[in-house]
Amino acid sequence: MAPDSQLDLFGSAGIDPVVPAEAVDFDAIPLSASVPIPPETYDSIAAITAHCDRCQRCGLSEGRTHAVVGRGNPSAPIAIIGEAPGQNEDEQGLPFVGRSGELLEKILASVNLSTDREIYICNVAKCRPPGNRNPTPAEIAACKPFFLEQIRLVDPQIVLLAGATAVKATIADKRGITKIRGQWFEWEGRLCMPIFHPAYLLRNPSREKGKPKWLMWQDIQAIRRKLDELQAPSV
């Protein structure tokens, strides 16, 4: 199967259960990206983790120390989707634990958001690409059912797409992240917002008005306001 048709299998616009759940060979799932993983395959994040730990749906499995599935509150109102694990994440088996993660935690803390309460974090790709390259379309397609299932199970009100890879794997908006960051979209029936990837902010440290870090500060405040609005008791 060509990489592009694998991507189509899960549909960039949403969940498309081509194959009914009862037709799925669960033992085959870890072995090949051609085995579909329809929605509602898993009943817990632990079950997803068990499959990711032995997944061989793409070549990234060959180089991994750990599959990196997620961290944070599994019932959080906000989920953040990043790109793929780096070296620290691969070693520890947890997403965003290196320098990018440190910055992300600071950004969240600036508006009193925390992975202990409001935030769940995962990545498009569960295994580290060699040399931290971007995951390929075929690798994204092979891994996509896992994060779709994570989002379904966590059931957040808001999904943040950190960087271009997360945008590509979800809303697939062709405009660059600089154009669409800070805007609200609908994806999988949820509110979602593309934001700058923290690694990009590390490379662009200026806090000057209009620069990426300043824009991120506007975005995180808008996200905080939206969460407060969604959680306000209705009168």
By CB under 6 A, what part of segment 100-129 binds ligand URA? Answer: 100, 123
Among 29, 55, 80, 84, binds ligand URA (CB under 6 A): 84
Provide the mask over 171-200, with x wherever binding to ligand URA is found by CB under 6 A and - wherever it is not: ----------------------------x-
Element (H, E) at 140: helix 137-154
Least distance from ligand URA to the Cβ atom of residue 100, Å: 4
Instruction: Select the span of 44-52, 77-85, 106-114, 143-151 touching ligand URA (CB under 6 A).
Output: 77-85
Structure tokens at 19: 């194959």
Contact 83, 42 (CB under 8 A): no
Number of residues that bind ligand URA (CB under 6 A): 12
Please, which residues have CB within 8 angstroms of residue 196's CB and are 6 or more apart in sequence? 162, 163, 177, 181, 212, 215, 216, 219
Amino acid at 5: S
**Sign of torsion, CA 154 157 161 167?**
positive
User: Which stretch, 4-12, 40-48, 78-86, 185-193, contacts ligand URA (CB under 6 A)?
Assistant: 78-86
Contacting range for ligand URA; rule: CB under 6 A; set: 84-92, 108-116, 174-182, 222-230: 84-92
Nearest approach in angstroms of CB 85 to ligand URA is 5
Min CB(132)–ligand URA separation in Å: 8
Which residue, 52 or 84, is less far from ligand URA as judged by CB?
A: 84
The number of beta carbons lying within 10 Å of the beta carbon of residue 233 is: 4
3-state secondary structure of 68: coil
Smallest gap, in angstroms, from Cβ of residue 55 to ligand URA? 17
Name the 3-class secondary structure at 79: strand
Which tokens sit at 218? 């506007």
- Measured from the CB of residue 204, what is the shortest distance to ligand URA in angstroms? 16
H or E element in which residue 90 lies: helix 87-92
